[in-house]
Amino acid sequence: MASLGDECILRSVIAGLGDSEGVECLIHSEEQCGWFDDQFNKTQCERAETAAAPKVQLSCRPGLLYVYARLFNKARHLRFPEPLRALAAFLYLPFHLLSTRENRSLLKGIAADIERCEACYFYGGSAWSAQFFWTNACPLFWHFALCRFYHKDVFCGPQQYGRQTLAQRWFFRFFIRPLFTDVRCRNARCVEEFGFAGHQLLFDEVFACTRLYPVKHRYQRARSFILINFRSTNFVRAITASEMKAFAAFLAALDQRLALPFKLFGMSDPAFCDDLQILSHLQNANGGRLNVEVARLKDEYDLIDLSEQAYGTISMSFHGCLFSMMGGCPAVPVTSGPYYDYKYADFDRYTGNQTVPILSLQHLDQVHAVESIVEYFERYDPSRTAEARVQAAAQIGSWYMQIRNDCGVEVYESGVYKLSEMRQ
């Protein structure tokens, strides 16, 4: 798995919108850019097909992201600053698509897919955040423009839009957002910073997918072990050794209060983000006496099963927190820097407003953090999170229904990627 969270968003979108006959889901993938490998895309497709209706077909092919990434890499020879290279690649992309037979054939295939679909649905987690913005926004502008040229609606599903630089926000406001027929967000800060209406704030699509992950209203939580997750990168910079040591020292202090073993789980493989890099620091913590075991996960259901047995979770992974709470386990997010601070700005909404503490590695008061997390674990009420999931499912169901009504069919488009309905 490159990113289990990304894979689960895809599955949730298809499960929510793919319940109709004669739907073909086409993913315009960047697999040949080197960001994801072929096996990951194959796994995504197979698991998403399993989650969706039997007559949903899922296929992958390179899209404009693939072409743009190659063009951007070639622009490195110009020795321009990166923003100028991005601008040069963005402006030249339409001409580049016409410059070779291979590119013209690819463009013809993309145009044909758009022409025969009913709508384009863009899903994602934090694709519009600063560190991913130009990689996605430049090719997606032309993709969405093609959709509009063929008079196709473009919907943007609930995701995270910040943090963005001033230039990125300007580009998004004047070039990207006008191409959307409708848009939703999943973070309350986006409502304030990007001018979204209140009804456009939804929950994450995985959290709202009760078809794949049923709501459980009764939980019995034992004082057994604590699940932990720690990302080796925040997608802006590598996590520093001092932050890893601070996290390990915090767990040693928590161990003195609760005397429970820890189980370390990963949400990504090393090619994407090595979630097990923290292990060496944990093994040396507290004189090597910290009880840490690695939990090997086959899929998200393994994590839900583990969380049903766990006393609590401390996770830097957003979806790691969500799946833990789906199993009835309280989850405390870990932040490090502006990217994660923004991601968890309104995480309390997912708990049913239980005032969840946030563990900030850059502003860590160890004594206060231990006490607040122990107190939160003790008072956590899983039924309130279950109620939030019921609300989330109703909201996302209404959003999907609106898309179906606007299009007259059940059609959608994912991430960078396009899911299209094929007429029989």
- Quick check: 132 and 408 in contact, CB under 8 A? no
Amino acid identity of residue 39, one-letter, is Q
pLDDT for position 18? 67
Which of the four pLDDT bands, split at 50, 70 and 90, describes residue 78?
confident
Q: In whole angstroms, how far apart are CA 183 and each of 45, 148, 195?
A: 25, 15, 12
What is the pLDDT, as a whole number, of residue 19?
55
Are 49 and 58 contacting, i.e. CB atoms less than 8 angstroms apart?
A: yes
> 276-299, pLDDT tens digit by residue?
888 888 888 777 788 999 998 888
Structure token pair of residue 318: 């957003």
365, two tokens = 């008061």
Q: Which pTM was predicted?
A: 0.86
Output DSSP code: residue 416. Answer: T
Task: Supply the Cα-derived Rg of the chain in whole angstroms.
Answer: 22
Q: What is the mean pLDDT of residues 174-192?
A: 94
Q: Tokens at residue 322, please? A: 């969500």
* Per-residue pLDDT reduced to its tens digit, 149-176: 999 999 999 999 988 989 999 999 999 9
pLDDT digits (tens, 9 = 90+) for 53-76: 444 566 666 788 878 888 888 877
pLDDT at 119: 85
Q: How far apart are CA 141 and CA 162, in angstroms?
A: 18
Is residue 272 pLDDT above 60, yes or no? yes
Fold of 226-385: Rossmann fold (3.40.50)
pLDDT for the residue numbered 420: 34
Interatomic CA distance for residues 360 and 362, integer angstroms: 5
pLDDT given at position 417: 30
Average pLDDT score, the chain:
83
Percent of the chain with pLDDT over 70: 83
Confidence band for 408, pLDDT divided at 50, 70 and 90: low
Please give the DSSP secondary-structure letter assigned to residue 31: G
> Which regions of the chain carry the CATH code 3.40.50.2000?
226-385
Q: In degrees rounded to 5, what are phi and psi of residue 419?
A: -110, 125
